[in-house]
């Protein structure tokens, strides 16, 4: 399909200024990766990382739906763009859980990202109880229907499938289960968005490490990864970037 792989790192609530050295080290080790590389640091580091990075793109981890205004502690997509971000994660399961974000909230945030010229990385994924109950495909399909606005294209949107039970646990679905979900997601997006669905990249996220990245990247309709813990250190993330470059 010609979709270029994307290795995306989500630093979550980690990363002081000294961690910018990881960016320098990653770029020194992978000066011309054959994939897109994105790091989403805490908002405090977006501007400094965007200034320091040459090859790596920088993203936010969340944005408010509004462009500006009286929303203490929140960050607008426009502010992330002004700081040098080119993307923003919306609807991560930790925000859905910690802040009660609904599909409608995520949908509004994705539109805010587009308004500011950012790529929206829209996250979906079932809980362990939902998977055990045989509801994983239906849950993710429902989240996609609610969270992905009309107008999503390969240029403005990336979808990240992150099963909640695989995040930070070392547990990963079987490759067959990842394939089944990603094939399902492609079909769901095709039904709602037509042929443009073929251009949208689908990332897998949840306990991706250098040791399992290559096999995951080889799975049907997996166009990259959204990586938490293993994105914090250049040596680990470099292994994932290398795997994405080969795939
Ligand atoms: P881990 O890679 O630490 O499991 O985190 C995945 C994630 O939540 C990325 O957004």
Is residue 145 within 8 A of residue 188, CB to CB? The reply is yes
Provide mean pLDDT across the span 73-89: 98
What would the pLDDT profile of 221-243 be if each residue is shown by its tens digit? 999 999 999 999 999 999 999 99
Q: Could you tell me if residue 194 is inside a domain?
A: yes
Q: Could you tell me if residue 28 is inside a domain?
A: yes
What is the structure's pLDDT at 2? 85
Of 41, 82, 45, nearest to 61 by C-alpha is 41
Provide mean pLDDT across the span 100-129: 98
- Which residue numbers are catalytic? 92, 162
Supply the range of the domain harboring residue 209: 6-242
Q: If pLDDT is split at 50, 70 and 90, which confidence band does 247 have?
A: low
Whether 66 shows a pLDDT value over 60: the answer reads: yes
Provide mean pLDDT across the span 81-108: 98
Residue 126 is part of a domain; what is its CATH number? 3.20.20.70
Provide mean pLDDT across the span 58-72: 98
What is the structure's pLDDT at 246? 87
Asked whether 206 lines ligand 1 (CB < 6 A), one says yes
Q: Give residues with Cβ within 8 angstroms of 39, minimum separation 6.
A: 8, 9, 11, 23, 49, 53, 56, 57, 58, 59, 231
What is the structure's pLDDT at 158? 98
State how far the Cα of 186 lies from the Cα of 156, in Å rounded to an integer: 16
Q: Could you tell me if residue 1 is inside a domain?
A: no
Provide mean pLDDT across the span 141-161: 98
What would the pLDDT profile of 156-189 be if each residue is shown by its tens digit? 999 999 999 999 999 999 999 999 999 999 999 9
Q: How many domains does the chain have?
A: 1
Asked whether 90 lines ligand 1 (CB < 6 A), one says no
What is the structure's pLDDT at 104? 98
Query: Which string of DSSP letters, residue by residue, matches 40-101?
Result: E--GGGHHHHHHH-SS-EEEES--BSSSSSS-TT--BHHHHHHHT--EEEES-HHHHHHS--
Q: Mutate which of 7, 12, 96 to test ligand 1's pocket (most atoms within 8 Å of Cβ)? A: 12
Three-state DSSP class for residue 148: coil
Q: Could you tell me if residue 247 is inside a domain?
A: no
What is the structure's pLDDT at 1? 54
- Mean pLDDT (the chain) is 98
Minimum CA distance residue for ligand 1 atom 1 = 228
Ligand 1 centre and the CA of 226: distance in Å? 7
What is the structure's pLDDT at 195? 96
Q: If pLDDT is split at 50, 70 and 90, which confidence band does 208 have?
A: very high
Calculate ∠ Cα 145-61-34, nearest 5°: 90
Ligand 1 centre and the CA of 228: distance in Å? 3
Minimum CA distance residue for ligand 1 atom 7 = 228
In terms of pTM, does the model score above 0.95? yes
Q: Mutate which of 6, 10, 158, 171 to test ligand 1's pocket (most atoms within 8 Å of Cβ)? A: 10
């Amino acid at each position: 399909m010609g979709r270029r792989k994307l290795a995306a790192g989500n630093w979550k609530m980690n990363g002081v200024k000294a961690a910018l050295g990881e960016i320098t080290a990653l770029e020194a080790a992978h000066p011309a990766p054959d994939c897109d590389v994105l790091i989403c640091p805490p908002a405090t580091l977006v501007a400094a990382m965007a200034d320091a990075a040459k090859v790596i793109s920088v993203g936010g981890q969340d944005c408010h739906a509004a462009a500006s205004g009286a929303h203490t502690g929140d960050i607008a997509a426009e502010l992330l763009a002004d700081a040098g971000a080119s993307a923003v994660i919306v609807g991560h399961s930790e925000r859905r859980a910690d802040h009660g974000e609904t599909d409608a909230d995520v949908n509004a945030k994705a539109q805010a990202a587009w308004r500011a010229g950012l790529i929206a990385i829209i996250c979906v994924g079932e809980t362990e109880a939902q998977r055990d109950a045989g509801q994983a495909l239906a849950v993710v399909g429902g989240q996609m229907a609610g969270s992905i606005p009309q107008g999503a294209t390969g240029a403005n949107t990336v979808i990240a499938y992150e099963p909640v039970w695989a995040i930070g646990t070392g547990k990963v679905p079987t490759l067959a289960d990842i394939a089944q979900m990603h094939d399902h997601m492609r079909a769901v997006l095709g039904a709602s968005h037509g042929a443009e669905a073929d251009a949208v990249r689908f990332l897998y996220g949840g306990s991706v490490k250098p040791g399992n990245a290559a096999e995951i990247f080889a799975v049907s309709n997996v166009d990259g990864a959204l990586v938490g813990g293993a994105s914090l250190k250049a040596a680990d993330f470099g292994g994932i970037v290398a795997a994405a470059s080969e795939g």
